[in-house]
Amino acid sequence: WLVERGDLVSDPMLGISRPRKPETLPVAFTDDQLAAILRAVSTPDQDARTPWPIRDRALVITLAGTGVRATELCAMDCSDLTGGADPLIRVHGKGGKTRVVPLTPEVSRAMQEYLIDRAQRFPVPPDTAIDPVAPLWVNYRGQRLSRGALKQYVYRWLLRAGVPRPDGEAVHAFRHTFATGLIANGTDIATVRQLLGHSSIASTQIYLRMTGADLASAVRAAPIATLAREP
């Protein structure tokens, strides 16, 4: 501002570098927390306007079992789901990029149970084909599920399950849970990147550091570490 006014000949801030933002690791749910969330959503929410436990359970399993973003999940159409022996889901990611994510039997089963229940709630007239661009995930009115509504659902799930709300976007914690689980089970970083739809490998490598922190904690908790601390 002073340079623009002519009070200073040059900008003294040009020689000062911007401080680096402290890097924080993403927060993932533990196995116990994920189990608590599943138990909570599997029972009807008495405070909900229209409880839909089958759909909520399918949402939790899909989020944790595919690692899709909230926007990607809400944008899914019925035509994006492929059944058969090797079920797949087509995911429309950032920048108009599309990827295909295989579905485990657990995710596929939860989705099919939801679709059967959904058909009973919102029956299609006889001899009427399902619109291929019909939303896959809907609210209690049968309209496409919005990202804002999904966010509120997740907050209610965590509250009912007694799981602390993670820092940042709570829906994204399911994505972190999916990624860290893959790496902990030995999946290579390139495959994890492909499944998550990251444009840069640098975005995926943060999960390696998360796993490294978990390993360090495990080593510190080993019996020999405890014995060594004893006088």
Active site residues: 69, 94, 172, 175, 198, 207
Q: Which long-range contacts (CB under 8 A, 24 or more apart) does 98-101 make?
A: 99/194, 99/195, 99/197, 101/66, 101/67, 101/68, 101/195
Residues 57, 58, 64, 66, Cα dihedral to 10°: 180
C-alpha to C-alpha distance for 117 and 110, rounded to whole angstroms: 11
Q: CB-hemisphere CA count at 13 Å for 102?
A: 7
> Quick check: 59 and 153 in contact, CB under 8 A?
yes
Instruction: Supply 25's token pair.
Output: 């690791």
In the sheet with 81-82, reading across from the earlier edge strand, the strands are 81-82, 88-92, 98-102
Among 192, 198, 224, CA closest to 211: 192
Fill in the DSSP letter of residue 100: E
Relative to beta strand 81-82, strand 88-92 is antiparallel
Enumerate the H helices of the chain as residue ranges: 2-5, 31-41, 53-66, 70-74, 105-121, 147-161, 172-184, 189-196, 201-220, 223-229
Fill in the DSSP letter of residue 46: T
